[in-house]
Amino acid sequence: MISKKMEKALNEQVNAELYSAYLYLSMEAYFKSLNLNGFANWMRVQTQEEVSHAMKIYGFVDERGGRITLKTIEGPQTKWDSPLAVFKDIYKHEQKVTSLINDLVNLAIEEKDHATNTFLQWFVNEQVEEEASADQVVQQLKIMEKAPGGMFMLDRELAQRVFTPPAAEGE
């Protein structure tokens, strides 16, 4: 059984993950409007990842005898000044998500909830990747400010990204 406090905090994280999905979907629409379909693909895969993060927590709360209660998902930003501005926002957003995950781990430790702490370690590791992949594109886009032709090469590269469900990663 999960404590009410932990249940509430995990419900909030489900909302945060679904908001992330919504944000990336909005970013996809922005890239589609620029005909940068590789960037749009990257965003679609990211959206799928975020939904899978939400569902992973959803399933865990249920398994522990908790109750999922869904709340309103905030509307995301819809316009950006440039692809670089988008990826800078992603990097900041993922740092914020990392701090939310860290707060959840701290709460699990406070509550002596070892099962939730262990469950959350997957997210701790995932956030290392989430921040690194956003930062990598920020750095590439910064280089491309001086060589705009590179944007199309990067678009082709980002078109290669495919969604791998977490369960298939040997979690």
Binding site for ligand FEO (CB under 6 A): 17, 20, 50, 53, 94, 97, 130
Nearer to ligand FEO, 14 or 151 (CB): 14
Which residue minimizes CB distance to ligand FEO? 53
In the complex, least distance from residue 148 CB atom to ligand FEO, rounded to whole angstroms? 28
Quick one: three-class SS letters along 113-145? Answer: CHHHHHHHHHHHHHHHHHHHHHHHHHHHHHHHC
Nearer to ligand FEO, 74 or 145 (CB): 74
Nearer to ligand FEO, 135 or 144 (CB): 135
In the complex, least distance from residue 137 CB atom to ligand FEO, rounded to whole angstroms? 14
C-beta atoms surrounding 106 within 10 Å: 12
Type of residue found at 24: Y
In the complex, least distance from residue 13 CB atom to ligand FEO, rounded to whole angstroms? 9
C-beta atoms surrounding 150 within 10 Å: 14
Nearer to ligand FEO, 50 or 113 (CB): 50
3-state secondary structure of 112: coil
CB 4 within 8 A of CB 113: no
